[in-house]
Amino acid sequence: MASEYTTTEYIQHHLTNATACMVDGEVAFNKACSEAGFWAVHVDTMAWSIGLGILFLYLFRRTAAKATTGVPSKGQAFVELVVDFVNDNVTSTFHGKSALIAPLALTIFVWVLLMNLMDLIPVDVIPSVSGWIGQVAFGMDPHDVYNKAVPTTDLNLTLALALGVFVLIIFYSIKMKGISGFAKELSLQPFNHWAFIPVNLVLELVTLFARPLSLALRLFGNLYASELIFILIATIGLWQLPLHFMWAVFHILVLPLQAFIFMMLTIVYLSLASEDH
């Protein structure tokens, strides 16, 4: 597929999301959405992330329904291993009491991991299949068919995940400390004197808003850079196979690590929010 484009066009095509928007009351796609801004939707990101989320729920629900107390199947043993791993980290990190944190941490870890693992699929497979379907079924030019299959390379998705965590941080802060306690935490730390309230607010608000921003940018930056390297490797033709294999093997470690970091930072932030000083 790389031979059909210049290197620049090839990279741009693989890094472009399939976009839908409303233009003059009608649904438009891709290039027609360049000025739609906030109201444009990345269809591929939505489809892959929701699909992988449903896959996660189906696999874990199916395993739970078939679980036995005897010798577990390989699937049950794997699920139990993941659940125990997440539960151990929640128990050792979250110092409050909440029935939400462990399921939330499990969902974040497995869902982000599944989305990250899409990065291991050869970069030409899904765009080529999507282009062929667009050409045969809808008479489209394959060059105008986009399908970026790694949702975590889309800043919109990582920001959405991080904003969800941010809402929970605010919720637990107010739940545990009350509105007045949360306001005092922002205005009277680290300098416990009324004269330093403006300084404290600046310091604490920057820290507060940096948490979701760092969550989103860390995951996005690592996965976007990884995908870009896979694409660059694909531009060299047949020689890409050994390089692709080595980079993929390296990412077998990196991709779970990024999901683990996102999960752990979420637990830590919620633990800090739940502490009543």
Range of the domain at 197: 2-274
**What pLDDT, on a 0 to 100 scale, did the predictor assign at position 2?**
47
**What pLDDT, on a 0 to 100 scale, did the predictor assign at position 57?**
94
Q: Percent of the chain beyond pLDDT 90? A: 40
68-77 pLDDT tens trace? 877 888 888 9
**What pLDDT, on a 0 to 100 scale, did the predictor assign at position 36?**
61
**What pLDDT, on a 0 to 100 scale, did the predictor assign at position 103?**
93
d(CA 143, CA 14): 10
Tell me the pLDDT band of 115, cut-offs 50, 70 and 90. Answer: very high
Overall number of domains in the chain:
1
Can you tell me the mean pLDDT for 239-268? 86
**What pLDDT, on a 0 to 100 scale, did the predictor assign at position 235?**
82
3-state secondary structure the chain: CHHHCCHHHHHHHHCCCCEEEEECCEEEEHHHHCCCHHHCEEHHHHHHHHHHHHHHHHHHHHHHHCCCCCCCCHHHHHHHHHHHHHHHHHHHHCCCCCCCHHHHHHHHHHHHHHHHHHHHCCCCHHHHHHHHHHHHHHCCCHHHCCCCCCHHHCHHHHHHHHHHHHHHHHHHHHHHHHHHHHHHHHHCCCCCCHHHHHHHHHHHHHHHHHHHHHHHHHHHHHHHHHHHHHHHHHCCHHHHHHHHHHHHHHHHHHHHHHHHHHHHHHHHHHHHHHCCC
Is 0.85 surpassed by the pTM of this model? yes
Please list the active-site residues.
Answer: 214, 218, 222
